[in-house]
Structure 1
Amino acid sequence: MPQAPQERARRRTRRWPRRLGLAAGSLVLLLILLAGGALVWMRTSLPTTSGEIALPGLEAPVTVTRDSKGIPRIAAESEGDAAFALGFVHAQDRLWQMEQNRRVGAGRLSEVLGSATLDYDRFMRTLGVYRLAQRSYETASPALKRALERYADGVNAYLAHRDGALPPEFNLLWIDPEPWTPADSLVWGRLMALQLSGNWYAELERARLANHFSAEQIEELWSSEPAERHVPLSETLKQLDRTRLAAIQARVPEAVQPRLASNIWALGGAHTESGKPLLANDPHLGLSNPNLWYLARIETPTLTLTGATVPGVPMVLIGHNGRVAWGFTTTHSDTSDIFIERIDPADPARYLTPDGSAAFETREETIRVRGGEPVTVTVRATRHGPVVSDGHADSRRTLAALPENTALALAATSLNPDDRTAEGLYRLNRAGSAAEFRDRLRDFQAPQQNVAFADVNGDFGIVTTGLTPIRRQGDGFLPVPGWTGEHDWTGFVPFEELPQRFNPASGRVVNGNNNVADPGYPHFLGREFDVAYRARRIADRLDETENATARQMAALQNDVVSLGARELLPAILPMLPDSPAKAMLAAWDGAMDRARPEPLLYSALLRHLERRLFADEFAPAGEPFHAPRLPVTIGMLQQDSAWCDDTGTADRRESCADIVRAALDDARAELGDDLAGLRWGDRHRAVFSNMLLGRIPLLRGLTDVAVPTGGSNDTVNRGTSRMQGAEPYRHVHGAGLRVVFDLADLDRSLFVQALGQSGNPFSAHYGDLARLWSDGGSFPIPPQPEGPADRLLLRPGR
């Protein structure tokens, strides 16, 4: 019997949901299969670490043996082949990091990331960093040129002969890496020199406050010592537009924003168990993923090098060569200045000098922008350096925002076109003794660093090496007029007159970024040295140590006692009424232990104390507040300083005791009632966020690595937090590398880096060292791996 039209319609209606469900299920299955296929394909981006690979360009076979931590040991018949192999393994493990660094230095991020990074590119083109790197290559010695070229050959051999996918970042952006060049290797040194000499950046920050604070207030907020060469706030300085100054700072890429800290010390043989020196170093920089450092051992018939390299660079930055060991801390000297240049009223293409009008040096730079039209930037420079206030393609728009037709130029030793630092580092790697190493430091010019060294003969020392400007007048604390010549640099401190010690009678050298100059030192180095908390703690612990061993020095690197907390608490506890929180802090020994509650309570108290002290004064300026160094804050509290008065309450004057009590109330409100249940490590975590993948919400949780840590800004185990924002106690700055060199047997030296050898999230070595690092562990890198190892033979091929 034929179906009724209504029944047929009902059956068709019932079939549609089933069909839609089948279609949706098929789509989900297809997406799962595609995702699975993509993951399988992406895993082919992992490097080949065993077997054989034939590579054109090699002169003889090279063996690369990777231990269980992914640390390569390169055995080559020549230094050229060793450089080739280092370039190859760097590219295997850290290719995206290398790509990003060279693009930052060349001002070419926008080619792959679009207009979001255009300001960064403009700034780097203005500084001309990549041009400087190219010049350094052109003027390099034949030996350095060969090392750079052979390293580039190794990187390009990997690009030409790799199998499988590129690292995830390349696939995400749909780009292929260009061939590596020697200048790509040299650009990193220029970036690091800028990052470690950031006085000019602080000058702009201080200049932004010139209309709101007195010179004495600004000095109080930024200096740890009284000013000896005070520069008053000139009318020209006060007229600089605050918004324009902030815009200049905002254009500075993160890779060159100032991050300044490190510890280093060396003990002579009279104080060690072995009778030979010990040298410990832990450089402090921003925590990144991948980590800056890459550990390696290189052996040839003429050279042995073991230590920390930087992907993209064919030298060991911190390490030993079998006879000499070395390490670095930042000096915090003032090696850069902002000059306010006055435009010639008769001709805007010229500026004023003590000798009359001079023409700007100009050039045009074209920046390609992904998804947009190319942007042409006119770059100008004066006799002092590049004009950093030109932020637009049409520089006249910038000039309109500056007073009296002025421009801001940057003078910096890191921009010296004749810099020989790469040459110096290459030669330091090959020094045969401490005395020879010291002499070769003459070529290390920027950034200025405190370089400690020791040799197997028992000699050791430290030199504050690098170009240090001699100013006709002033101290580089604030931007100064450039047209008068009164503040010009007249030369540099001679190498022989730089602070240095060789086999000192004390039997040790120690530096934690504190002032390196003895009283009465004739040259001006700077005003912003770090407070000596870390150096004092190191010295105190060394005083307590007899017959020191490498393991004891590694333990000292992980010391978390805060001398700052031990100084602050006695000043503020008498101001507080009795309470469980006060009792907890009073009984605490100042150890910023990740498993304890007291460090979190103390940090919250300090955070709210600084906010209550300074935020009200900064609010009218429209600026985030800047907290001074802790001894300055302690002095303010002890003197019942005017900073304690809340400017928002006109009807009364708050005392410092009022502010301290309110800050503790704020901390208690933030942390809750269960103080005993708090743990510093729950909030104080080192989060290593992937450079690109960590910015994508769906991938961030899969690629970020986080570990709880101890320490604080002023502990030997540096654990700096921003103290503001959504995660105020997050550990953002510290020792990405720790090394202890034992000159009695350099193969027993101890190493650890903060994250892992690989920058590829699919690798087992992406974050496998993070927990060991946070737990204070370390390991040697002997000639032969202990335990399982992968061996890869690189042989000459066609």
Structure 2
Amino acid sequence: MGVTGVGWCGAAAAATYSAEIRRTALGVPHIKAADIGSIGYGYGYASAQDNICEIADRILTVSGERARHLGAGAADANIMSDLYHRAAFAKGDVERLLAGPPGSVDTPSPDARAMARGYVAGVNRYLRETGVAKIDDPRCRGAGWVRPLTEIDFWRHMYVGQTVDGLFAPVGSAQPPGSSARQAALPADARLLEEETGLGSNAYGLGREVTKSGRGVLLGNPHYPWTGVNRFYRTHFTIPGKLNVVGVSYVGMPLIRMGHTEHVAWSNTVSTASRYGYFELKLDPADPTRYLYEGRYEPMTRQTFTVAVKDGPPVTRTLYATRYGPVVLSSTFPWTTERAFALRQAPVGLRDVDQYMAVWQARSVRELQKVLAARQSYRFNTTAVDAGGEAFFGDMGMIPNVPEELAKACIVSDVGREAWTRGRRAVLDGSRAACDWRTDADSTAPGMFGARAAPQLFRTDYVTQSNDSYWLTNPEQPLTGYSRVWGDEGTARSLRTRLGLDQVKRRVEGTDGLEGRKFDLAALQKVMFGNRHYGGELTRDELVTACRTSGRAKLQPACEALARWDLKVDLDSRGAHLFHLFAENGGLKFRTPFDPVDPVGTPHTLDSSDPAVLAALEKAVDRLAELKIPLDARLGDVQRDDRGRGELVPIHGGAGGEGVFNVITVAPEQLKPELGWTQIRHGASWVMAVEFTDKGPVSRGLLTYSQSTNSGSKHYADQTRLYSRKQWDDLRFTEAAVATGTVNRQVVSE
């Protein structure tokens, strides 16, 4: 099912726009219009009001001009970003895709183009009305890098997606041996999103067997940064009689990526699948810029770029590419006189806009699976439910088609074997055509697995995801037999995954202390903010015993603080911060190892005989003493987020690696004397609970870091305070709910 022919373009085809923007409490814009172009227009205008500096910063990035306006950056990060993005667009791939044949999966539809044009026009209207010199956010007020958007800006942003910078330096630094531009220190290896930043997500898709209503219930809980390129933005799109979808987009992209309609609710989680891989190149002994392919040496292509740098001389660099993609240089993938490595990525192109529009039109999870299979542009796992009470999980994106037998035949070095066995990354022989990625009959791009090969599951009880692989999405029906490109099987699950499964089991049985059995909206909200600490539940008692019997006088106050801890990460939980430092120091050592026969229950029991256990606790005690932070302090007094103007908002939640479902991540370097942590790195960001009822969907949610990045906005901290109090906001899906909650109304047109 697609969107071509849905008839959303309307007046936008003639480049005229009119949108009603109704703001409800917390600054949430509900965009109502007669056509999809006007939806984009209203969204562009409203999102620019809240986040113009973020939008402009993204365009600065894809324009390859960060160094020119902001300087080289730490470790030349801006230079590397500029080189990466200039190379990505130099061959005109975006323009080629835009000029593609109508109806092709790679060619944006008329609706997608209308949305893009409208969005650009909406942002530009805000800039015309306000003027760069009068932007109320001081971070970009009067900045030379804030400019009107063009449509090609938008499509370039879509083309590179929410790229993490782990790829920038390996591509931008790749120089042949002997080059004067080659750096002495090699950059770190590119890694997947969750590996690089610790990001992740939780999701529950709860089917009719485990819900009180017999209909679908969904939890969406991505753990994303509280600042930067991956920030979410709450919104709601309505075209009367044709479209009603509410949820979150990324800042700078007019696409509701996680949310619900009348029929389907869905969320995404970070996938373990490798969406890129490498090819190992055998080089010409006489020329390290020529590589062997099918018995003949062929030259790498060369592109030379000059990057202006605000705080230094211009940087000129020639980048090299192959039939597979750009040559990279990193600590694992060197470029010597004998070999080099090329990066190949899944060719998602410009499919995202049409992909999400198709998702909005799905009337069941079966239809949702079909529209995801038709374009394969999702970069994440999907967890979804429908009004009929069926649940779905699938990793439905483009994944390099590297079955086990291909890897066995085509991995030719220790580097490749290490990458495959430990990192599940394919590093294949680039000299043989037979080692190229394979193509399934139902794949939508060369070299990709088809959708039928993807891990996926329909259930009427439940599916869950907490960033382990697909294997135990539902323990009653393990998913097995997939290439390791997708993820691992038969291995230990994270403590967070295990807690997530345990929470579902206890709620269905009615043994979690809440009223009744099974899930409804209220029960799901309580489970989400129940703030259990599974690592503490498994080990705290043994730790206290070992601490008390250790004979170490210095540890005795810590023993008692931990004994009184309520095993939660609520604001009033005392001693949670002490256990966090203990775990961070490597103290979580289990005596009973992982057992594949009991994958949800193992490993368990603290190995108190390991010297590392009490050593980790002692280190935590010393650290808190040094910082003058009490061992039994309330979590809400030592874990807060600085919202400016002297306001430190207390934040509940904790580290996912310790078995906390409601993830909140703080950095060790941010621990301050007497204050504790005052900045949240990432964690619970968009929190959404949806229940389908006989009268339609009912939904609650909040954006933990609030709607605006402008510290002067009244919507810079309001949802953060709401999160602190464990309160939720009505998503106001119906017209009546929006009308009742409207606090500001604006009609914009041109």
For the criterion TM > 0.5, the same-fold answer is yes
> What is the percentage of aligned positions where both structures have the same residue?
23
Correspondent of 1:180 among 149, 154, 157: 149
How far 1:488 sits from its partner (Å)?
Answer: 4.8
How far 1:323 sits from its partner (Å)?
Answer: 2.4
Counterparts of 1:430-445 in structure 2, within 5 Å, are 430-445=361-376
Superposed CA offset, 1:569-620 (max 9, x none): 466556544334334435645322332222112122223346999xxxxxxx
Q: Distance in 1 between matches of 2:198 and 2:655?
A: 15
The aligned counterpart of 2:637 is 682
Q: Are 1:573 and 1:582, in contact at CA under 8 Å, matched by a contact in 2?
A: yes
Q: Are 1:186 and 1:422, in contact at CA under 8 Å, matched by a contact in 2?
A: no
How far 1:758 sits from its partner (Å)?
Answer: 2.2
Q: Distance in 1 between matches of 2:623 and 2:641?
A: 21
Q: What letter is aligned with 2:503?
A: R
Instruction: Determine whether 1:526 maps to 2:487.
Output: yes
Q: What letter is aligned with 1:757?
A: Q
Superposed CA offset, 1:352-375 (max 9, x none): 335431211222223232254443
The aligned counterpart of 1:651 is none
Instruction: Determine whether 1:410 maps to 2:378.
Output: no
Instruction: Determine whether 1:352 maps to 2:281.
Output: no
Q: Are 1:203 and 1:338, in contact at CA under 8 Å, matched by a contact in 2?
A: no
Correspondent of 2:53 among 84, 96, 103: 96
The aligned counterpart of 2:580 is 603
Q: Distance in 2 between matches of 1:290 and 1:756?
A: 15
Q: What letter is aligned with 2:343?
A: L
Q: Distance in 1 between matches of 2:493 and 2:629?
A: 34
The higher radius of gyration belongs to 1
Matched residue SS, 2:58: helix
* Closer/same/farther in 2, CA of residues 176 and 261 from structure 1, 3 Å limit: closer
The aligned counterpart of 1:275 is 214
* Closer/same/farther in 2, CA of residues 126 and 288 from structure 1, 3 Å limit: closer
* Closer/same/farther in 2, CA of residues 512 and 674 from structure 1, 3 Å limit: closer
How far 1:752 sits from its partner (Å)?
Answer: 0.2
Superposed CA offset, 1:716-764 (max 9, x none): 1002233456559664220110011222255531110012222322221
Correspondent of 1:249 among 168, 182, 188: 188
Matched residue SS, 1:789: strand
The aligned counterpart of 1:511 is 465
Correspondent of 2:726 among 768, 773, 776: 776
Q: What letter is aligned with 2:309?
A: V
Q: Are 1:129 and 1:190, in contact at CA under 8 Å, matched by a contact in 2?
A: no
* Closer/same/farther in 2, CA of residues 174 and 80 from structure 1, 3 Å limit: closer
How far 1:293 sits from its partner (Å)?
Answer: 1.6
Matched residue SS, 1:125: helix
How far 1:297 sits from its partner (Å)?
Answer: 1.6
Superposed CA offset, 1:753-791 (max 9, x none): 012222322221122111112332211132325456111
The aligned counterpart of 2:528 is 557
Q: Distance in 2 between matches of 1:573 and 1:136?
A: 62
Counterparts of 1:539-558 in structure 2, within 5 Å, are 539-545=501-507, 546-558=517-529
Instruction: Determine whether 1:659 maps to 2:592.
Output: no
Q: Are 1:367 and 1:376, in contact at CA under 8 Å, matched by a contact in 2?
A: yes
The aligned counterpart of 2:437 is 489
* Closer/same/farther in 2, CA of residues 436 and 193 from structure 1, 3 Å limit: same
The aligned counterpart of 1:790 is 744
Q: Distance in 1 between matches of 2:156 and 2:373?
A: 21
Using CA pairs below 8 Å that are at least 6 residues apart, which structure has the higher relative contact order? Answer: 1
* Closer/same/farther in 2, CA of residues 440 and 559 from structure 1, 3 Å limit: same
Q: Distance in 2 between matches of 1:480 and 1:83?
A: 41
Correspondent of 1:300 among 210, 220, 239: 239
How far 1:278 sits from its partner (Å)?
Answer: 0.9
Q: Are 1:94 and 1:760, in contact at CA under 8 Å, matched by a contact in 2?
A: yes
* Closer/same/farther in 2, CA of residues 256 and 195 from structure 1, 3 Å limit: farther
Counterparts of 1:93-132 in structure 2, within 5 Å, are 93-116=50-73, 118-123=76-81, 125-126=83-84, 128-130=87-89
Q: Distance in 2 between matches of 1:355 and 1:708?
A: 61
Instruction: Determine whether 1:717 maps to 2:670.
Output: no
Normalised to the residue count of structure 1, the TM-score between the two structures is 0.72
Instruction: Determine whether 1:735 maps to 2:684.
Output: yes
The aligned counterpart of 2:9 is none
* Closer/same/farther in 2, CA of residues 521 and 183 from structure 1, 3 Å limit: farther
Matched residue SS, 2:531: coil
Q: Are 1:444 and 1:465, in contact at CA under 8 Å, matched by a contact in 2?
A: no
Q: Distance in 2 between matches of 1:430 and 1:167?
A: 38
Matched residue SS, 1:282: strand
Q: Distance in 2 between matches of 1:329 and 1:594?
A: 26
* Closer/same/farther in 2, CA of residues 390 and 145 from structure 1, 3 Å limit: farther
Instruction: Determine whether 1:750 maps to 2:708.
Output: no
* Closer/same/farther in 2, CA of residues 532 and 553 from structure 1, 3 Å limit: same
Q: Distance in 2 between matches of 1:707 and 1:538?
A: 24
Q: Distance in 2 between matches of 1:478 and 1:256?
A: 13
Q: Are 1:680 and 1:710, in contact at CA under 8 Å, matched by a contact in 2?
A: no
Correspondent of 2:571 among 567, 581, 594: 594
How far 1:311 sits from its partner (Å)?
Answer: 2.5
Matched residue SS, 1:560: coil
Q: Distance in 1 between matches of 2:469 and 2:303?
A: 40
Q: Distance in 1 between matches of 2:150 and 2:339?
A: 38
Instruction: Determine whether 1:536 maps to 2:498.
Output: yes
Correspondent of 2:715 among 761, 765, 768: 765
Matched residue SS, 1:316: coil
The aligned counterpart of 1:422 is 353
Q: Distance in 2 between matches of 1:494 and 1:724?
A: 44
The aligned counterpart of 1:27 is none
Q: Are 1:324 and 1:453, in contact at CA under 8 Å, matched by a contact in 2?
A: yes
Q: What letter is aligned with 2:109?
A: S
* Closer/same/farther in 2, CA of residues 273 and 325 from structure 1, 3 Å limit: same
| Range moving further from structure 2, 578-587 or 540-549 | 578-587
| Range moving further from structure 2, 163-172 or 82-91 | 163-172
* Closer/same/farther in 2, CA of residues 299 and 149 from structure 1, 3 Å limit: same
Q: Distance in 1 between matches of 2:95 and 2:527?
A: 41
Q: Are 1:285 and 1:734, in contact at CA under 8 Å, matched by a contact in 2?
A: yes
Q: Are 2:587 and 2:613, in contact at CA under 8 Å, matched by a contact in 1?
A: no
Superposed CA offset, 1:404-440 (max 9, x none): 4543422232xx2646333312321222333222100
Matched residue SS, 1:168: coil
Q: Are 2:40 and 2:115, in contact at CA under 8 Å, matched by a contact in 1?
A: yes
Superposed CA offset, 1:486-525 (max 9, x none): 97533432211211122x15x1111111221335424321
Q: What letter is aligned with 1:155?
A: V
Any unmatched runs of 5+ in structure 1? 1-54, 205-242, 392-397, 614-629, 641-655, 689-700
Q: Are 1:96 and 1:167, in contact at CA under 8 Å, matched by a contact in 2?
A: no
Q: Distance in 2 between matches of 1:574 and 1:189?
A: 55
How far 1:313 sits from its partner (Å)?
Answer: 1.2
The aligned counterpart of 1:235 is none
How far 1:156 sits from its partner (Å)?
Answer: 1.8
Root mean square deviation, CA, Å: 4.1
Q: Distance in 1 between matches of 2:740 and 2:43?
A: 21
Matched residue SS, 2:26: coil
Superposed CA offset, 1:536-587 (max 9, x none): 3233223333242212212222232122233344665565443343344356
Q: Are 1:94 and 1:759, in contact at CA under 8 Å, matched by a contact in 2?
A: yes
Q: Are 2:200 and 2:467, in contact at CA under 8 Å, matched by a contact in 1?
A: yes
How far 1:194 sits from its partner (Å)?
Answer: 4.0
The aligned counterpart of 1:669 is 622
Q: Distance in 2 between matches of 1:202 and 1:171?
A: 26
Q: Are 1:561 and 1:711, in contact at CA under 8 Å, matched by a contact in 2?
A: no
How far 1:84 sits from its partner (Å)?
Answer: 1.3
